[in-house]
Amino acid sequence: MMEKLSANEFDLNYDAVTQKLDNALLKVGKTRQDVILLAATKTVDVDTINYAINKGIAYIGENKVQELLSKYDGVIDVHHHFIGHLQTNKVKDVVGKVELIHSVDSLKLAKEISKQSQKIGKTMDILLEINIGDEDSKWGFTPDNLENSIKEIAALTNIRICGLMAIPPICENAEDNRKYFKKMYQLFVDIRDKNIDNSYMDILSMGMSDDFDIAIEEGANLVRVGTALFGKRY
């Protein structure tokens, strides 16, 4: 867990993030209605999360199931997303709790989400995670098998594909990620133009603390920001 953040520190961070957000939005002629700022809350304590929500954070995302469950009841009313790698045996703990799973990275996982959602009579909104840097170390679909995977997943019950998500390779310079964001946007638009049944390309989730402004310039409409809001994790 990180050191508890002082209210003042969060306020300063939040101002800086919203300033950077507004500048990026201005560049592309969008408004705050067009882009979701999701706070990535891993390692952040419940009190700090609730403070952030009271300040205006409306979306939060956890990347570990255990952490999501342990904080869930303490967090005040907010949109909960799941953003981390999800093991199939933990799907049942997540589907009833979150509105959107960003990180669906295999057909096997999608099938389990479909099955568990059916059990509770829910249609689960998901994004498909794309391994846009083609890294061996990363989860996700590769761009070339994406269309077939989408067709297979879209045919499952109790699941709705709402868009795509990516975590580009770690770069020294945030600008270096622009090419990956561009690729993601192109993929997003190409898939959208194919109008695959039961697949809705509405959400493009990309961009984190160091590069969310660049991601927005390249078409992201959901950015996931942790460090820039809550400070460095140790």
The residue ranges that bind ligand PLP (CB under 6 A) are 40, 42, 63, 83-84, 167, 208-209, 224-228
For residue 219, give every residue at least 6 positions away whose Cβ sits within 8 Å of its Cβ, in sequence order, or none. 181, 184, 185, 188, 204
Of the two residues 83 and 128, which places its CB atom closer to ligand PLP in the complex? 83
Distances (CA, A) of 228 to 39, 47, 175, 224: 9, 18, 17, 10
State the nearest-atom distance from the C-beta of 156 to ligand PLP, in Å.
23
State the nearest-atom distance from the C-beta of 129 to ligand PLP, in Å.
9
C-alpha span between 84 and 40 (Å, rounded): 10
Taking CB atoms, the residue at the shortest distance from ligand PLP is 226
State the nearest-atom distance from the C-beta of 199 to ligand PLP, in Å.
22
**Tokens standing for residue 49:** 């999360």
Of the two residues 188 and 230, which places its CB atom closer to ligand PLP in the complex? 230
**Tokens standing for residue 176:** 């270096």
C-alpha span between 130 and 163 (Å, rounded): 11
State the nearest-atom distance from the C-beta of 22 to ligand PLP, in Å.
18
DSSP state of 57: -
Of the two residues 36 and 156, which places its CB atom closer to ligand PLP in the complex? 36
Of the two residues 91 and 228, which places its CB atom closer to ligand PLP in the complex? 228
C-alpha span between 84 and 103 (Å, rounded): 6
Q: What are the two backbone dihedrals, phi and then psi, of residue 219, each rounded to the nearest 5 degrees? A: 115, 0
Helices (H) and strands (E) in the chain, counts: 9, 8
State the nearest-atom distance from the C-beta of 42 to ligand PLP, in Å.
5
State the nearest-atom distance from the C-beta of 190 to ligand PLP, in Å.
24
Q: Determine how many CB atoms are found less than 10 A away from the CB of residue 44.
A: 26
Of the two residues 84 and 169, which places its CB atom closer to ligand PLP in the complex? 84
Of the two residues 1 and 197, which places its CB atom closer to ligand PLP in the complex? 1
